[in-house]
Amino acid sequence: MEKKDNETVDLRSLFIYYLSHWKLILVAGVISVIGASLYLIFYPKTYEGTAQILLQDDKDLFSSGSFGLGEAAGIMKSFGLGGGSSSGISLDDELVILTSNKLNREVAEKLGLYASYSAPRTFGYRMYGLQQLVVSMDSLNLNDLEHTIKLDIHQSKEGKITVKSKIKTGTFKSIKNKFELTELPATLNLGRYSVNLDYAANYVKDNNPFTLEIEINPLSAAAETLVDDMFVDDYSKSSNILQLTLKDYETRRLKDIFTVLIDCYNNQARDYKVSLGNNSLSFINDRLYETMRELQNIESGIESYKTKNKITVVEYDMQMYAASMQELQSKLIELESQIHLINLMEEFINNPENKYKLIPSLFSAPEGETGILYSYNQILLERESAIKSSSELNPMVQTMTAQADELRKSVHTMINNSKKTLDFTRQDLKSKENQLMSKMSSIPTQERLYVDLKRQQEIYQGVYLILLQKREDILLTIGQNKDRARIVDTPYIKTGTVAPRKLFALIGIIAFTFLISAGWLSVKYLFTSIWGDLKAEIKKKK
């Protein structure tokens, strides 16, 4: 109980001691108020912009309808090529794409965000669309830029422009240059970099003097800043809507960033679709040529056979076997078509030149293996995109290459399993066919050979129609002018500002008033205690 009373007394005495220095508290409060006022006055009004986009899924390039193809439509359905299936959307993947450095580098380059313009003594306030001059660099120089370039520009009353440049190449190293310009546009040769300088499009040229500070940063740094300032999140777990949020004190820059970002995202998705479609078209066109050549050879063989054996009309004479034979022939046609398509894919995969090319799916994979081919094509596209922005020696590219090689083995296994299954089914159908053919021994040999030729013709006709339909589907998909991201809510700026905030200023006043006064009293108390102890020790020694 005594200890508790002592603590109460100590706290009370400490509080009284603190209040006894009310003048110090008042001075600290005034300083805090001044600091908070400067914050409210000089901190630029910052706004929050937002936009909502709906991600639209394109139909798979290998989905198709029948379009009145008759028996070929039935074959296509048996291959799993009809029905208009879609590939689905992964919001997590799209979030990564929207915040990727590659996409935001493109945005920064188009809007010129790699260059910041400010007037002297504006505490880093970056102008947007209000500056007198603009700088630009070609893509080669911009992608090669590794250092920050600072330009101090002054125009005199006579219209003469003085440019002082500084390139920081190290902690204490920099390259400085000075240029005297009499007219614009002009090109500044800064060692390995070239910077173009010109008047802004909306600036009315006059001889009024002005001073402008320009800082040019590497494109990757501008993209990183853009990604750090932007927040992308899904609107709800049950929808394909993404909400983009960005804060800035220039409302025009906010809207431009949203507009260009969505355009670049749609262009990137469109380029991906066209790239995938062109690869598939190349594969299908090659197979169409080969199939047409085989079909022409078979038709020539049928014509020669009919001429040699003087056959005009061939009909089944034995009605009791007609229904069974027709059903069996239909199954064999579908089966042989599938085997032929699998062989085409196997030839494409085994060709060393196609090692890292996309593999179109022309048959229904066994249950449980439908995602192998999609995963393989996806990793190839990511690898190709990574190689364009770096090189094959990049560790990330090498990792993707290893993943592609591993998935390629799974694709081989999937195709081999499908071939074994189809071969087993074909042997069973052939056995049944032989049984029927043995019962039809009365049918002339010429007729049986003709049936075999006719069946081969139908097989290649079915394959040809399937490939032709696939090519038309791909051309239609590529030709669709459909954006990946559809704007649901046009980019807009919220009415209220998000900074400076009066609540933060109030909290700062209270916190700094306490910290300054309490800190000063604590230091004073500590110094007094140490000095008193020191004097007592000196006195004791004397």
pLDDT digits (tens, 9 = 90+) for 341-390: 888 888 888 877 777 777 776 655 555 455 677 787 888 787 777 787 77
- Residue ranges of alpha helices (H) inside 176-250 are 219-229
Buried b (16+ CB within 10 A) or exposed e, 60-99: bbbbbeeeebeebbbbbbbbbbbeeeeeeeebeebeebbb
Q: Do the Cβ atoms of 207 and 158 come closer than 8 Å? A: yes
Q: How many CA atoms lie within 13 A of 115 on its CB side?
A: 23
Query: Which of 242, 250, 247, 243 is closest to 226 using CA atoms?
Result: 247
Phi, psi of 434 (to 5 degrees): -65, -35
Query: Which of 296, 283, 396 is closest to 346 using CA atoms?
Result: 283
Top pLDDT among 237 and 425 is at: 425
Q: Do the Cβ atoms of 191 and 179 come closer than 8 Å? A: no
Question: Of 19-28, 250-259, 346-355, which has the strongest mean pLDDT?
Answer: 250-259
**pLDDT class of 235 with cuts at 50, 70, 90:** confident
Query: What's the maximum distance between 2 C-alpha atoms anywhere in the chain?
Result: 143
The number of residues in the chain equals 542
Check pLDDT > 80 for residue 441: no
Q: Is the pTM of this model over 0.95?
A: no
Pairing of strands 485-499, 241-248: unpaired
